[in-house]
A and B are shown apart, each in its own frame.
Chain A
Amino acid sequence: MNSDLNVSFELDGKTVEVQAGETLLAACRKTCTEVPTLCHDDRLDPYGGCRMCLVELEGAPRPVPACKTTAAKGMKVTSQSPMLERVRRTMAEMLMTEHTSGNGVQVDGLEECAKELGVGAMPIKFENPRTWEDRNRFLAFDPGACILCDRCVRYCDEVMQCTALEHVGQGSEAFIQPTDGASFLDTSCELCGGCISTCPTGALYEKQATAPIAETEATRSVCTFCGVGCVLDIHTKDGKVVKISSEEGSGPNDGHLCNKGRFAWQFIHHKDRLTHPLVRNAQGELEETTWEIAYSRVVEGLSAVKKKYGADSIGFLASSRCTNEDVYALQKLARSAVGTNNVHSCAAT
C-alpha cells in the first residue's frame, strides 16, 4: 500500500490510518469501533439517511454521519459519547414508533440495534392502506416493518439498474412500491431479490421461505446456474430448504445473486426427483430396483459390450454441472476401470 495514499486522523483519541477516500464508517469498522447503521450497504453509494451512525467531528457544528463523511488528515472524531448515545437512542425510538415486527424470515436489524440501545417496541399504529396487486411468488413486502431507508430502491437503481422500485410521497405519507404501483411481474423487475438482501429490517422477504431465519441452519456453498460461481448460503430446517441467500462481501459475487440462484431451488424437493434405481424390464419399462441389482446390471452391460467390441466402444459423458470430484471419478472410471479415453462433456465455451 502506498503510504502517500493514506490519511491519518484521530478516532476516539487514537491515531488511525486509512486509505484516502475511505469514509469514517469504514475507519470505524476497521478499528472494530461499533457504530450502528441501518441505511448503509457497502455496495451502494453513501446515503446518510438513517442518522444512526452520527459521530462527533471537532469543529463541526453538529454530529456528522460517518457513512457519508470522508476521512481527512488531522480530523478529530469521537464515535462514542453520552450525547451520541442519546441521539442514537432517539433515532431508534423514532424508527421503532413506525415499525412493526416482521415475520422473522429475515434478521431485523432495527430491532437488534434498538435492543442494543435499550429501546423497546413502541409502535404507534399507522394505517398503511397502500397495497398492490401482486402475482409474483418470490418477493413479499411488509410495509409495517419498512423504515424507508431506501436501500431497496437504491439497490435496484444503482446495482441492478432496473428501476423497478420507487419511494413515493413524503413524511408519514411516504411508502415504497414497485414502480407505478404495478405488480413486480409487470415492472422492469428481474426478480433477483437483491432488494431483500439489502433490506435491514425484513420488510422485504422471501415469499417462499417456510421458517424464520433464526430456526434455520446455514450451509455455505456455490451456485450452479452459470459459470460465475456465486457463493451462497443454503438455509435449511428439518431437511428442507427454507431459503437461499448470500452474504455481502463473500465470494466473487459480493453477496449478489440472480433470480435463479436465489429462488430456483424448488427442484431440490420436487416430486419428480429420482429416489430409487431403475432398470428396464422385459416389457421395455423402467421399474424400481435395488442398488445391488442396478450395479450388477451396469457391470453386466458394460462388460458384455467391452468383451464384444472392446473398451473403446464405450463412451462416458459428464455434465459440466457436476463437481470436480465427481467428474474426476467418472474419467477415472472410464480410463482405469473400463480402459477407454472416451470421456467428454458439453464444455463448449
Chain B
Amino acid sequence: MEEIENTDCMLVVGSNTTEAHPVLALRMKKAMRKGAHLIVVDPRRTWLAERAEVHLQLRPGTDIPLMNAFAYVILEEGLADNTYIENLTENFDEFAAAAKEWPPERAAELCEVSADDIRKAARLYAKTDKAGIYYTLGITEHVCGVDNVRSLSNLALVTGHLGRESVGVNPLRGQNNVQGCNDVGNNPVYFPGYQEVADPEAHAKFSKVWGKELSKTPGLRLDQMMDGMHDGRLKAFYVMGEDPVVSEPNAKHVESGFEQVEFVVCQDIFLNETSRIYADVVLPSTCFAEKDGTFTNSERRVQRVRKALDPPGEARADLQILHELAAALGDDWGPADPETVWNEFADYSPRFFGIRYPRIETFGLQWPCPELDHPGTKFLHEGAPMRGKGKFYGLDHVPAWEEPDEDYPFLLTTGRTLYHYNAATQTARSEGHMDKQDRCFVEIAPADARDLGIEDGSDLKVESRRGVITVQAKVTDAVHPGVLWMPMHFAEARANVLTGDGKDPEIGTPEYKVTAVRLLT
C-alpha cells in the first residue's frame, strides 16, 4: 500500500476511497501532495472527484463503454505499449476490435460524460509511466461485474501498466477479511489455498488430511443458496457472523426463503434480523478483540489478531464453538488452537506455506510466500502476468438488470459512508457516530428536487418493484439529475428492500449499484 504514495497517476474507478477506505486514501492524498495526477470515474462528486484533474461522472452501469473508449483513444493515438502487448499478452485483436466500436463520442453519449474528458483522461493514464488503477464495489456490484474488472485489466495490459511498483489493477477490499475468507477455502469450488474441488489431486489430498472421503460435488454460491431456499435445494443454514436478511439483495425474497428452511443456526455477537426471526439455535461468539488469529488484508498481507479481552458472559470463541460442534458431530479435530489451525492450512496450501505465526509477530507477510524463508510478495505479475500471458477481452456494453423506465424513472445507486460500516450493527451502537449521521438519506439532484417539490431534509419514500422505504432527502449537486444515491447501512431503511435480483452470471455478485425506483413525497 505504501506503493501508492509513489505513483504518478491514479485512476480511481467506482471507489469513494476517502469514505470507504479512509486510511488507504491517506496514501492517495500524499501522492496528490507530491503532484500525482488523479482521474476519478464515479457517478458522484466525491471528495476525491472534487480534487481530480478529470472527473468522469458517468451514468452508473456504463463502465465498459467508458473503458473501451479509453482503449480507443490509446490505440488511435499510438499510446499502447506494443512491446508489452507482443511479448506478454494474448487475444489483443479481439480486444482492439471491441474497442474500435466505442469512439469517445459514442461512449460520451451513453455514459453522459464529455468526449474531451475521456480523451484527456485516457492520455494522462497511458502517458504516465507509473499509473495505477484502483477500484472497488462500484465496478464489481453490477450484472457485468467480472467484465467491468476485465475492462480495467485491458487498460493495464494495453499500456503495460502491470507487474511493477505503484502500477497495476488494485481492488480495495471492503471487509477486513474478504481476502482471507477466500484464501482459506470458504468457497464452494475451492478447498483451502485455491485448490479446486474439481481437481482429483486436491480432492485426494484433503480427503487424506481430514481422514475421510470428501464430497466431489461443487457447492452452491451464496446467491445460489439464496435461490436454493426457494427451490428446495437448501433445507438448513449455518450462518456465522452474517445477517443475510439485511445484507443480501431483494430482502423479501431472502425472508420468504428463510421461511421455507427447516433448520437455522446463527453464530454471532448480537441478535440480528435473521437470527431474531429465523434461528432455531443462536450461539454467542466473540468479536475481534476477544480472540487470537489472523486477518488477510487487501494487499494479501496476513496479520496477527490478538486477544485483549475475555468474551462476555458465556460467549465462546468462534473457533472453540466450531471445534466443539465438529466433535459433537463425530469429527474430532483436537484442541481449538488458532496457531495449530493456521499451520494445518499452511501445511497443505503451497502459496501460504511460508507464513507462520512467529514470522508475522511484528509485521505481516504478503502471500504468495511458498517457503519458510521467503520474504513474501509485494506485488503480483512481476516480469510477466502470473498466468503466463495477460489475456485481453473483447467487451461490449451490458445493460443493467433493471433500467429506469416510465414507472420507475430514477436510477438508484448505493454505497458506504465514512461514519458507518455495513449493516451498522457496531457503528450504530456508537453514540458519537450517530451524532454525525443518525438516519438513512438519499441524495437527489437540485433539479429533480425542484421538479418534485422535495425540500432538503424532508421525508421521502423511495419505491422499487420490490419494496418501499422512507428516508431523508438530501438535495445535492453531487449526483446528476435522474440518479439517486443512498447508503446501505441503516436497518430501519434497508437499501436491500429495494434492490433486485440482477447478478453477475459468472460469480453471482449482486447488482447493488443500479436499481430503478420512483419517489413518493
Footprint of B on A, CB under 8 Å? Answer: 135-138, 158-161, 185, 190-192, 208, 217, 219-231, 234, 236, 239-241, 250-254, 256-261, 263-270, 272-280, 286, 291, 294-299, 301-306, 308-309, 311-349
Contacts and interface: CB of A to CB of B under 8 A. Distances in A.
Contact of A229 (B33, B312, B364): B364
Interface stretch (B92-100, B105-113, B289-297): B289-297
A261 B240 contact: no
Given A298-B325, A322-B181, A348 B509 contact: yes
Contacts of B22: 190, 192, 226, 258-259
Nearest to A318: B240
A328 B364 contact: no
A315 B163 CA distance: 38
A171 B214 CA distance: 76
Interface of B: 1-2, 20-24, 26, 29-30, 33, 136-137, 140-141, 145, 171-189, 191-192, 197, 206, 210-212, 214-215, 217-222, 225, 228, 233-242, 244, 247-248, 262-263, 265, 268-271, 275-276, 279-285, 287-291, 293-299, 301-310, 312-316, 318-319, 322-326, 328-331, 333, 336, 338, 341-342, 344-345, 363-364, 418-419, 421, 425-427, 429-433, 435-436, 509-510
Contact of B176 (A227, A270, A311, A339): A227
A345 B191 CA distance: 14
Contact of B305 (A221, A315, A337, A346): A221
Contact of B435 (A136, A217, A224, A341): A136
Contacts, number: 460
Contacts of A265: 289, 430
Contact of B288 (A224, A258, A325, A335): A224
Contact of A341 (B172, B217, B303, B345): B217
A279 B319 contact: no
A259 B179 CA distance: 23
Nearest to A310: B235
Contacts of A291: 314, 316, 324
A50 B284 CA distance: 52
Given A315-B220, A349-B174, A253 B23 contact: yes
A229 to B, nearest CB: 3
Nearest to A253: B23
Nearest to B282: A278
A317 to B, nearest CB: 5
Contacts of B427: 260, 264, 267
A305 B314 contact: no
B345 A324 contact: yes
B214 A335 contact: yes
13 contacts: A137-B435, A229-B299, A252-B297, A267-B430, A274-B269, A313-B236, A318-B242, A320-B176, A324-B342, A324-B345, A327-B240, A338-B329, A348-B140
Contacts of B228: 315
A349 B140 contact: yes
Given A226-B173, A252-B297, A260-B427, A299 B329 contact: yes
B325 A315 contact: no
Contact of A317 (B182, B210, B217, B244): B244
A268 B289 contact: yes
A221 B177 CA distance: 14
Contact of A344 (B186, B270, B294, B322): B186
A102 B338 CA distance: 40
A240 B312 CA distance: 11
B20 A191 contact: no
Nearest to B276: A286
Contact of B215 (A256, A269, A341): A341
Contacts of A322: 177, 181, 240-241, 318
B2 to A, nearest CB: 7
Given A219-B306, A311-B215, A341-B219, 19 more contacts: A137-B432, A219-B307, A229-B296, A267-B287, A267-B425, A267-B430, A268-B287, A277-B282, A279-B281, A313-B234, A319-B175, A320-B174, A323-B318, A325-B345, A326-B318, A330-B322, A335-B210, A342-B234, A348-B174
B297 A229 contact: yes
Contact of B314 (A160, A240, A277): A277
Given A222-B304, A331-B184, A335-B214, A277 B283 contact: yes
Contact of A346 (B222, B303, B336): B222
**8 nearest CB pairs, A to B:** A275-B313, A227-B173, A229-B297, A323-B293, A341-B219, A319-B241, A274-B284, A137-B432
Given A264-B433, A312-B233, A222 B210 contact: no
Nearest to A255: B23
Contacts of B176: 222-227, 229, 320-321
B389 to A, nearest CB: 25
Given A229-B176, A318-B242, A343-B188, A272 B271 contact: yes
B434 to A, nearest CB: 9
Contact of A222 (B23, B303, B433): B303
A38 to B, nearest CB: 23
A316 B237 CA distance: 6
Contact of B283 (A264, A294, A309, A342): A294
Contacts of B436: 185, 191
Nearest to B429: A267
Given A236-B308, A241-B309, A305-B236, A260 B421 contact: yes
Contact of A301 (B215, B281, B315, B421): B281
B210 A227 contact: no
A220 B288 CA distance: 11
Contact of A343 (B187, B279, B302): B187
A265 B141 CA distance: 29
Contacts of B219: 312, 334, 340-344
Contacts of A231: 303
A280 B20 CA distance: 37
B185 A317 contact: no
A319 B329 CA distance: 22
B429 A226 contact: no
Contacts of B325: 295, 298-299, 333, 337
Contacts of B197: 341
B500 to A, nearest CB: 16
